[in-house]
Amino acid sequence: MRVYYSFLIVIFSLLLSANAMAMMANELTVGLLKTDSTAEKKYLSLLQQVYPNHKITVQRSDNAPALLEQLITYDIDLILPWQPYIYKNVLQSFNSVSATEKVIVSYSSNLEFNQTTDMKKFKFGMVGDVDTQNIKGLDDNVVQVSSFQAGLSLVNKKQLDGIIHYVSDAKTTENNLSQLALLPAKNNVVAFSKTIIGRQLKEQFDASLNRQSDPVIQDQRPPFTIYLSGKTSDDNYDLTHYTSLILSSMGGYNISLEWMNNATEYFNSAGANNSCVMTMLKTPERLQKFDFSESINLTLGQRLYSLTPISSPEPISLTTLINQSVDLRLGFGATRSYGDKLDDEISNLLFKNKMAYDSSHQVLLKHFANKKFELLITYPYDFMHFDVQEKMYSYEVQNSPKFIEGYLMCGRSNLSNQFLKQFDHALTELTQYKQFFDSQLQYLPKSEYTLFAKYFKQIYK
């Protein structure tokens, strides 16, 4: 009898657990990035259409990384609206929940705006859910307006200088207002946790929206694959703001991002003809088989750093400098290649003028800051996560390029050629935006901004 009752208790417990799980399966916890009330209602209405039998609980936040952490730890089921990223623990909808439009400022014709204008001097009205975080100078000088007409009325009353909004074309709006394109907008999607439930929710979301023509605009753009080099699919890696900015300029294509885990295997594959790779260097061997875009990024080359000023003219010859100042010592990475010519110079230095370290860049920088040696050759971006308290002096060094250009490398086919032509056209327009310049500064210490600007002007005239 006791066994019988124990059996009933187990069955009853299982039924309770099943009911609880069923209830949980019908609950949806949504991380909602804060936006205006109109857009929020649209997103929640969309979710209710897709998941009509679910109880939707909302967690509002303006902190995307915080929501992402909750998604990865499965505390929430999805994030909306989301902009496409690559994360190993995150699934993303194939459907866009917003049309591709440009962020425009419409302003009084008596004002003069260009891409270098200091936006802080003016006051703007913003219509709808416009992502302005990458437009420098917009902060307290932006107020929300209910519509373009409401903003126009305030501009006419000289209470506002302009209206920031999305438009799908470049036609002049009303009253002969002038327009300036600030940024190409990104398509918003939905991010799901990479769990069984998250995968089911994603499949249901995409399948539901693929059957609807309203309110979601179906993506009819031709597909194209771009490979990311230097990473593996196991990396918890997201597109940088700079890379996202470039890819968002190709609004005419539905771009699929893949990993190029094995470069040699990719170069020899048939698929290489109908795809492109970011960000690649030009080499004679690659030029024989692939076509390249205009420069898509600029990296400062290796420079010679010293804790005391050097009076020699630039570019400085390392050999000549040390021969003239015999007490100087160069610290260098024993397993690091500085380029064939510099490697030869370093190997020919006297033993007393060099100190080799078989350790990380950060350890080398620490020893430099602690004055274990006087000279260091490294890339400026190596200093990004290391604060050197001592004043440093940097110089151009012989036998090392001043800067390095990265390119989009594409296979030779009609599809790739057509994509590359449009990419170069979009890139030319994008380089006129101050945001394109600013997005590359995040890889440099502030001490090198002026030098970077000098080379940037040479490349993007």
Count of C-beta atoms within a 10 Å radius of residue 132 = 17
Q: What are phi and psi of 32, to 5 degrees?
A: -110, 115
Tens of pLDDT, residues 283-336: 998 999 999 999 988 889 999 999 899 988 999 999 999 998 888 999 998 888
Q: Which residues contact 396 (CB under 8 A, 6 or more apart)?
A: 303, 304, 314, 315, 316, 402
Alpha-carbon separation of residue 113 from 127, 136, 145, 162, 261 (angstroms): 19, 14, 21, 10, 45
Selection from 330, 327, 316, 315 nearest residue 373 by Cα: 330
According to the model, what pLDDT value does residue 221 have?
65
According to the model, what pLDDT value does residue 4 have?
37
Count of C-beta atoms within a 10 Å radius of residue 1 = 5
Run of H or E including 28: strand 27-33
Structure tokens of 235? 């990396």
| CA 339 – CA 349 distance, rounded (Å) | 16
Alpha-carbon separation of residue 94 from 82, 91, 97, 307 (angstroms): 12, 10, 10, 52
Contacts of range 321-327, beta carbons closer than 8 Å, 24 or more positions apart:
321/375, 322/349, 322/350, 322/353, 322/375, 326/353
According to the model, what pLDDT value does residue 119 have?
85
Run of H or E including 332: strand 330-333
| CA 40 – CA 188 distance, rounded (Å) | 13
According to the model, what pLDDT value does residue 244 have?
67
pTM score of the predicted model: 0.58
Cα torsion through 191, 194, 196, 199, rounded to 10: 40
Q: Are 104 and 85 in contact (CB under 8 A)?
A: no
Tens of pLDDT, residues 23-39: 345 789 999 988 777 77
Supply angle C-alpha 411, 402, 308, rounded to 5. 150
Residues of the chain with pLDDT under 50: 1-24, 169-170, 172, 213-218, 233-238
According to the model, what pLDDT value does residue 321 have?
94
- DSSP single-letter state for residue 169: S
According to the model, what pLDDT value does residue 235 have?
45
Count of C-beta atoms within a 10 Å radius of residue 433 = 19
Q: Which residues contact 438 (CB under 8 A, 6 or more apart)?
A: 136
According to the model, what pLDDT value does residue 430 have?
80
Count of C-beta atoms within a 10 Å radius of residue 353 = 20
Average pLDDT, the chain: 80
Length of the chain: 461
According to the model, what pLDDT value does residue 42 have?
85
Residue given tokens 């949806």 in the structure block: 28
